[in-house]
Every structure is written in structure tokens, then in C-alpha cells.
Amino acid sequence: MRRLVMAGVAVVTFSMIAATPALAHGDQRLVTGEVALDVGETVAFPGELHYHRLVGRFAATGPISVRLVDETTGAAVIDSKPGSDIALNELIRCCEGMGWAPHRLEIENRADRPVVVDAGVTLVHDDLAVSVFRAEAGVVEGMLALAGIWVYGLVRTRRRAACTPRAALATLIVVSASVVVIATIGNARYGTGSVPGLLAGAVDIPLFPVNPIASRASVIAFMAMAGWAVAGSRWIAARDRMNRVAWSALGLAVVGAAIVAAALVMIEYRTLGMPAFFAALAVLPICVALIVERRQPVATTTPTSPIAVEPV
């Protein structure tokens, strides 16, 4: 019954977060494959976005320029320098309180001869940006609901479950290494930092077809957070099988991973409030558990033997 209740709470929370138009957005392919351009020709690819990233690579036989134009205002929100090898991973902060806004991708031939462009471009929905900038209603409420589930899960795990120290440590290592690998792939292909590299790297991982409902980048970010939560749960469950020093060190490592992730998000999006708020909600229960454990007296055991020893 309790599992059913928790599943219901999780579904309600997810629905509350994803029901808003922006948070339900997925990804959209703009162009894939070769595009032939005559001298001076510009080709356009229409698309719509809401807090999406333009993630793409362009390899041309001559210099080209790439622009993303807002069709409502006519302004170029992205305008690359001319070149034959262009990589883009740019966040477009549009549009608060709106649905999908029409934009068009323009590729212009800047050479004095026809060129062929091999392009792969995707509009990738950035749920982190939506949360960080509170671009939709319900972001704070959703975080508080998830924090409540997180605390309840930790308490339940500590009382009912048990885990080996090796499994707890392995979970944290696997989750951290997976995030680093995906971010490294994205950074190598699109020349961006850690957080945008993670989101862009998710585009190249074929979890499911690109679609306008669920974003690959959002799923990867959610899996990273869920993996961290599993590592925290296994850490709390391993208390009875670890000595205090090792258990506290592993707990600090779990906290440190969350703080590093929050700091990277702050640096990327140049804002402090929401990343710090979410990180505090995540690590506070772990810090409380560490403080409570530290105040507990160290358990001492006296060897017992069924054989009585008489004093000499």
C-alpha cells in the first residue's frame, strides 16, 4: 500500500511539473544530411522553440554563415562567424508564458563557388534552464514535492533496507563517471562546457527517437539526478555495515557531487538562487544524517566468552 501511495505521489509530482507547456516540450530536428548551396544562396529551415538549445555541427566545402532568426521580431538570436566547420550549442531564452515560438535556421553560402554542407542540427529542450529561470509556474512547488519524497525515501531506506559499502560506493562512481563521459562527448563535438556539453551529448545517445514531447537531454539530466538519489539511498542503507569514518567520508562525497553540480549550473546560467535552493533541498537531509551520526556515542563491544575465567 505504501509503495502504491509513493508511486501515486511521484506521478502527481511529475504531472504537476510536466503539465505546463514549456516543461512538456521535447526536441526537434531542423536538418540532417547534405545541403547544396549555389553562390550567394541562403536556405532556411523553419522550427519552433521554447527555452531550447540550438545544437548542431556544420561541415562545408567552403565558408558559410549560420543564423537563427526569430520570425516574430526578425532579429537574429544566433549569428555565427563565417567558416567551413561550425559547431553550435546555444541556449535561446524564449519565451516566458508562451508556447512554441517560430524561428528559422538560415545557412548562407559565403564562398564564390557552390558549396555542399553536411549539417546535423537539433533544437534541444533545456529543462534545466526552465527550472533555473523559473520560466513556468510550478517549478518551486515541484522541487519541494520532490524534496519531500527524497526525505521520506531516505528515512524508509535507513529503517528497512541494508546495503554493502561496495555497492554504495560503486553507485556513486558509476553515476559520476557516466555524467562525465556524456559531458565530455558533448564538449568534444560541440565545443561547450560541462553542463551544455552534457545536454548536447545526450543528443547523440539514441535513447529514443527525437520527438516534440520528451527531450533526450531532459531524460539524461533526470537520470543523473535519479542516479545521485540512488547513491544517497544506498549510502544511508550502508550505515550498519561501515565504520563511522568511512561512512561519513562517503556521505561527504555524495554531498560534494551535488554541490559541484549546482556550482556548474550556477556558472553556466549565471544565476545563484534556484541552483542553490535545489542543492540545499537535496543535501540537507544527508547533512542532518551526518550530524546526528556524529553526535551518537561510538559503539564499543566487549568480547564475550561462554567460558568463565576465574581470578588468579
Rounded mean pLDDT, 133-145: 82
| Percent of the chain topping pLDDT 70 | 85
Rounded mean pLDDT, 179-193: 89
Nearest-CA neighbor of 171 among 233, 119, 218?
233
- Specify the range with the lowest mean pLDDT, choosing from 35-39, 80-84, 136-140, 268-272: 136-140
Give the global pTM.
0.80
Per-residue pLDDT for 4 more than 70?
Answer: no
- Specify the range with the lowest mean pLDDT, choosing from 156-165, 170-179, 228-237: 156-165
- Report CA dihedral (6, 144, 236, 245) to the nearest 10 degrees: 180
pLDDT at 207: 77
DSSP character string of the chain? -HHHHHHHHHHHHHHHHHSSTTTT---EEEEEEEEEE-TT-EEEEEEEESSEEEEEEEEEEEEEEEEEEETTT--EEEEPPPEEEEEEEEEE---TT-SPEEEEEEEEE-SSS-EEEEEEEEEEE-HHHHHHTT-STTHHHHHHHHHHHHHHHHHHHHHH----HHHHHHHHHHHHHHHHHHHHHHHHHH---HHHHHHHHHHTS-SS---SSS-HHHHHHHHHHHHHHHHHHHHHHTGGGS-HHHHHHHHHHHHHHHHHHHHHHHHHHT--HHHHHHHHHHHHHHHHHHHHHHHSPPP------SS-----
Helix axes 216-237, 244-269, angle to 10 degrees: 160
- Specify the range with the lowest mean pLDDT, choosing from 105-119, 234-248, 298-312: 298-312
Per-residue pLDDT for 15 more than 80?
Answer: no
Top-confidence residue, 10 or 256: 256
pLDDT at 301: 45
pLDDT at 10: 54
> pLDDT-derived band of residue 2, with 50, 70 and 90 as boundaries?
low
Tell me the C-alpha to C-alpha distance, in Å, between residue 133 and each of 162, 172, 190, 266, 271.
Answer: 39, 28, 24, 11, 8
- Residue 158's identity, in one-letter code, is R
Per-residue pLDDT for 109 more than 50?
Answer: yes
Task: Compute φ and ψ for 274, nearest 5 degrees.
Answer: -65, -40
Nearest-CA neighbor of 62 among 110, 106, 107?
110
Top-confidence residue, 10 or 241: 241
pLDDT at 224: 92
pLDDT at 18: 46
Average pLDDT, the chain: 84
pLDDT at 54: 94
Per-residue pLDDT for 228 more than 80?
Answer: yes
Structural domains of the chain, ranges and CATH numbers in brackets: 28-126 (2.60.120.680), 137-295 (no CATH)
At 256-312, the pLDDT tens digits run 999 999 999 999 999 999 999 999 999 998 998 888 887 776 555 444 434 444 444
At 204-222, the pLDDT tens digits run 888 778 877 888 998 898 8
pLDDT at 204: 85
At 147-159, the pLDDT tens digits run 888 888 887 877 6
Find the length of the chain: 312
At 44-81, the pLDDT tens digits run 999 988 889 999 999 999 999 999 999 988 999 999 99
